[in-house]
């Protein structure tokens, strides 16, 4: 751009010089008219010469002016081209700058995404490490549980073997007890039939108790009959044979006084408590027996307490031998009954006879042994039914 301006300035200077030469020529022409004649030729020649030089100079100046003008035009075109190029360059620069800014924005966005991706990758790696640690821990836990399960399975297998062996022993014992029960039932049936015939013939003499094996003074007799759920023979009824046995003994067993106590989860005593042994009271007792129905638990101790409160000296307990007094565990309940009975019968104050009836007696040896102890420890007899 500076070169163009310099060329234009040179052209202007040449034009000014040409104008100065013309002015000088005019002055010289004017001076020639006043020159003296003797000098006219010389001066004219000089002037012609100077004019020729001036013409030559003017021609040169014009040529230079033309060249300068051409150069100025070229410079102007170059300047215009340069200006246009500059505009293009500026537009290109703006475009480049815009693209650069866009590229910078894209790069920034890319960097942000890269940073986010790196953070996400780090989080994924952390979670992977956590999952790996959890998986390893779970694997160890599974292996431990597998070992424990294997040990438990082995223990269960041993327990099953023990249970099977025990079940076989229990089955053998149950079979033995069942055979024993059947034999006792057969023998007792024969005995009772015989004794019933004797009672029918004798009308209830004083030797009846001795004949059927019971023990006691038989002055105040308390009959205790178990009506718990375990005595259910089906359809909410008690085995008629058991009730018939109780009726025959209440009727035929000779005593001064007697009472009848039904017990399950609660205790019910024949109305009037300890009653004189006569036909009317026996009839009332038989009607009371007809109302018996199985339900509830087995409050054996409560039944004994009711009998001792009536000062019974001879107790005849009909039961299948499974007490659950006060909700206690069976073992605890049985021991509680034994301790209480022993205390009340101490010194021969009373005798407890036990008649074992029902299937429960023969399903668990503990109940059988409990009734044997209850009778034996209190000077009474045990009769299996």
Give the residue extent of every domain in the chain. Answer: 2-100, 203-384
Say whether pLDDT at 318 is over 80.
yes
- Residue 79 vs residues 1, 6, 9, 75, 330: alpha-carbon distances, Å: 6, 12, 15, 6, 124
Of 317, 290, 334, the closest CA to residue 226 belongs to 317
Q: Cα separation of 137 and 143, whole Å?
A: 10
**203-384: CATH superfamily:** von Willebrand factor, type A domain (3.40.50.410)
Q: How would you class 202 by CB atoms within 10 Å of its CB: exposed for 0-12, middle for 13-18, buried for 19 or more? A: middle
Helix 37-202 / helix 2-34 crossing angle, nearest 10 deg: 170
> In terms of pLDDT, which residue wins out, 1 or 341?
341
> In terms of pLDDT, which residue wins out, 272 or 160?
272
Say whether pLDDT at 212 is over 80.
no
Mean confidence (pLDDT) of the chain: 81
**Where is average pLDDT lowest: 67-71, 146-150, 206-210, 368-372?**
206-210
Q: Cα separation of 204 and 238, whole Å?
A: 26
pLDDT for 368: 84
pLDDT for 206: 43
Section 367-376 average pLDDT: 90
List, for residues 58-89, the tens digit of each pLDDT value. Answer: 788 778 878 877 776 777 787 787 788 878 87
Say whether pLDDT at 203 is over 60.
no
pLDDT for 204: 45
> In terms of pLDDT, which residue wins out, 177 or 38?
38
- Residue 339 vs residues 124, 314, 373, 374, 377: alpha-carbon distances, Å: 74, 18, 11, 9, 10
Say whether pLDDT at 22 is over 70.
no
Say whether pLDDT at 294 is over 90.
yes
Which residue reads 């027996």 in tokens? 289
pLDDT band at 262 (very low <50, low <70, confident <90, very high): very high
- Burial profile 60-90: b = 16 or more Cβ within 10 angstroms, e = fewer: ebeebbeebbebbeebeebbeeeeeeeeeee
> In terms of pLDDT, which residue wins out, 245 or 75?
245
Say whether pLDDT at 304 is over 90.
yes
> In terms of pLDDT, which residue wins out, 91 or 349?
349
List, for residues 113-125, the tens digit of each pLDDT value. Answer: 878 878 887 888 8
pLDDT for 183: 63
pLDDT for 221: 96
pLDDT band at 230 (very low <50, low <70, confident <90, very high): confident
Say whether pLDDT at 268 is over 70.
yes
Q: What is the pTM of this model?
A: 0.50
Helix 300-309 / helix 330-345 crossing angle, nearest 10 deg: 20
């Amino acid at each position: 751009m500076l070169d163009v301006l310099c060329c234009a300035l040179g052209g202007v200077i040449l034009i000014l010089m040409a104008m100065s030469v013309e002015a000088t020529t005019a002055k010289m022409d004017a001076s020639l008219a006043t020159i003296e004649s003797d000098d006219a030729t010389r001066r004219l020649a000089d002037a012609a010469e100077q004019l020729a030089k001036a013409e030559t100079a003017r021609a040169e100046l014009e040529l230079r002016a033309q060249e300068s003008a051409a150069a100025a035009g070229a410079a102007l075109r170059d300047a215009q081209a340069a200006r246009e190029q500059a505009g293009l360059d500026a537009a290109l620069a703006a475009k480049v700058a815009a693209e650069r800014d866009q590229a910078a924005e894209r790069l920034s966005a890319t960097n942000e995404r890269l940073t986010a991706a790196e953070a996400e990758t780090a989080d994924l790696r952390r979670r992977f490490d956590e999952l790996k640690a959890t998986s390893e821990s779970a694997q160890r836990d599974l292996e431990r549980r597998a070992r424990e399960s294997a040990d438990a399975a082995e223990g269960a297998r041993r327990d099953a073997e023990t249970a099977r062996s025990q079940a076989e022993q229990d089955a053998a014992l149950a079979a033995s007890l069942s055979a024993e029960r059947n034999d006792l039932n057969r023998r007792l049936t024969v005995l009772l039939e015989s004794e019933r015939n004797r009672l029918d013939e004798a009308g209830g003499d004083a030797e009846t108790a001795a004949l059927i094996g019971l023990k006691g003074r038989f002055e105040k007799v308390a009959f205790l009959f178990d009506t718990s759920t375990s005595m259910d023979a089906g359809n909410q009824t008690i085995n008629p044979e058991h009730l018939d046995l109780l009726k025959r003994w209440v009727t035929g067993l000779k005593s001064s006084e007697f009472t009848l106590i039904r017990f399950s989860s609660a205790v019910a005593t024949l109305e009037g408590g300890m009653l004189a042994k006569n036909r009317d009271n026996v009839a009332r007792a038989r009607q009371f027996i007809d109302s018996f129905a199985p339900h509830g638990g087995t409050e054996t101790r409560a039944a004994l307490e009711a009998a001792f409160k009536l000062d019974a000296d001879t107790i005849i307990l009909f039961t299948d031998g499974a007490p659950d007094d006060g909700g206690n565990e069976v073992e605890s309940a049985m021991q509680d009954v034994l301790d209480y009975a022993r205390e009340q019968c101490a010194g021969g104050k009373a005798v407890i006879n036990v008649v074992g009836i029902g299937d429960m007696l023969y399903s668990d040896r503990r109940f059988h042994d409990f009734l044997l102890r209850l009778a034996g420890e209190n000077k009474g007899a045990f009769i299996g039914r």
